[in-house]
A and B are shown apart, each in its own frame.
Chain A
Amino acid sequence: MIQIEDLRFRYPGAGRDAIGGLSLRIREGSLFGLLGPNGSGKTTLISILTGLLSAASGRVLVDGKALPARAREVQAFCALVPQEYAFYPRLNVIENLRFFAGALGIPVTAVKARVEEALGVAGLDAFQTTRAAHLSGGLKRRLNLAIGLLNRPRLLFLDEPTVGIDPQSRRFILEAIKRINQHGTTVVYTSHYMDEVELLCDEIGVLDSGRLLAQGTLEQLLQGDSGHSLIVSLSAAPSLPQQAHLSEISGLETDQNRLRIESCTDAQLKQLVALLAGEKLGIARMQYGYGNLEELFLHLTGRQLRD
Chain B
Amino acid sequence: MPVFALIGKEWKLLLRDWHALLLLFAMPAVFILVMSLALQDQFAAHQRVNIHYYLVDEDQSAVSRALVQQLDDMKDFSALPSGAPVAKLLDLVRNDRTQFLVRIPAGFGKAMLTARPSQLEMRAGPGVEPAMYELFAAALRSALAHVYLRQLMAPLDTQPPVAGSVPAEASGLSVADKLLNAQSLYQAGSENQRPSSVQQNVPAWLLFAMFFIAIPLSTTWVQERQQGTYARLRSMGVRPGDLLLGKLLPYLGINLLQVALMLAIGVFVVPLLGGGRLALGHSPLALCLMALAVSFASVAYALLIANMVTTSEQATIFTGVANLLMAAIGGIMVPRFLMPAAMQTLSQYSPMAWGLEGFLDVFLRQGGLGEVVPEAARLFGFGLICLLVAGILLGARQRK
A contacts, CB < 8 Å to B: 11-12, 47, 50-54, 71-72, 75-76, 78-80, 82-89, 100, 103-105, 147, 151
Chain B positions within 8 Å of A, measured between CB atoms, are 224, 227-229, 231-238, 398-400
Q: How far is the CB of A114 from chain B (nearest CB, A)?
A: 13
A50 touches B235 (CB 8 A): yes
Most buried by B among A78, A80, A85: A80
Give the chain A neighbours of B400 by CB distance below 8 A.
11-12
On whether the beta carbons of B236 and A151 are closer than 8 Å, the reply is yes
Assess the A84–B398 pair: CB atoms within 8 A: no
Residues A86 and B231 in contact, CB atoms below 8 Å apart: yes
- CB pair A75 B231 closer than 8 Å: no
Q: Could you pull out 22 A-B pairs where Cβ atoms are within 8 angstroms? A: A52-B235, A53-B399, A71-B237, A72-B237, A79-B235, A79-B236, A80-B231, A80-B232, A80-B235, A83-B228, A85-B227, A86-B227, A86-B228, A86-B231, A87-B229, A88-B229, A100-B236, A103-B238, A104-B236, A104-B237, A105-B237, A151-B236
Main secondary structure of the interface of B (DSSP, over half): helix
Within 8 Å by CB of B232, from A11, A54, A147, lies A147
Q: Find chain A residues with CB under 8 A from B238 CB.
A: 103
Are B236 and A52 closer than 8 Å at their CB atoms? no
| Neighbouring B residues of A72 by C-beta, 8 Å | 237
Chain A contact residues: helix, strand, loop or mixed:
loop
Inter-subunit contact B229/A86 (CB<8 Å): yes
Give chain B residues whose Cβ lies under 8 Å from the Cβ of A89: 227
Per the bound structure, the CA–CA distance linking A299 and B236 in Å amounts to 37
- Across-interface contacts of A71 in B (CB, < 8 A): 237
- For B229, what are the chain A residues with a Cβ–Cβ distance below 8 Å? 86-88
Are B398 and A75 touching (Cβ within 8 A)?
no
Q: Which residues of A contact B235 (CB under 8 A)?
A: 50-52, 75, 78-80
A306: min CB distance to chain B, Å: 22
The answer for the CA separation of A281 and B235 in the assembled complex, in Å, is 61
Taking CB atoms, residues of chain A closer than 8 Å to B236 are: 75, 79, 100, 103-104, 151
Which of these, B227, B232, B233, B399, contacts A12 with CB under 8 Å?
A: B399
A86 near B237 (CB under 8 angstroms)?
no
Cα–Cα, bound, A11→B233 (Å): 21
Shortest A99–chain B CB gap in Å is 10
Identify which of A51, A82, A105 contacts B228 (C-beta below 8 A). A82
In chain A, what residue has the closest Cβ to B230?
A: A86
Chain A residues with Cβ below 8 Å from B399 are 12, 53-54
Nearest chain-B residue to A78 (Cβ)? B235
> What residue in chain A is nearest B234 (Cβ atoms)?
A52
Q: Are A103 and B233 in contact (CB under 8 A)?
A: yes
Q: In the complex, what's the smallest C-beta–C-beta distance from B240 to chain A, in angstroms?
A: 12
- B305 smallest CB distance to A (angstroms): 21
B-chain residues with CB within 8 Å of residue A147 when the two chains form the complex: 232
Complex CA gap A105/B237 in Å reads 9
- Closest A-chain residue to B398, C-beta based? A52
Output the nearest chain B residue to A96 by Cβ-Cβ distance. Answer: B229
Q: Which of B229, B234, B238, B398 has the most CB of A within 10 A?
A: B229
CA distance A88 to B236 in the complex (A): 16
Q: How far is the CB of B232 from chain A (nearest CB, A)?
A: 4
Chain B, Cβ-Cβ closest to A71: B237
CB of A134 to closest CB in B, whole Å: 16
For the complex formed, measure the closest distance between the CB of A110 and the CB atoms of chain B, giving whole angstroms: 16
B338 to chain A, nearest CB (A): 45
Q: What is the minimal beta-carbon distance from A194 to any residue of chain B, in angstroms?
A: 25
* CB atoms of A84 and B227 under 8 A apart: yes
For the complex, give the distance between the alpha carbons of A12 and B238 in Å. 24
A11-B400, A52-B398, A53-B399 known; A75-B237 Cβ under 8 A? yes
Q: How far is the CA of A72 from the CA of B235 in the complex (A)?
A: 9
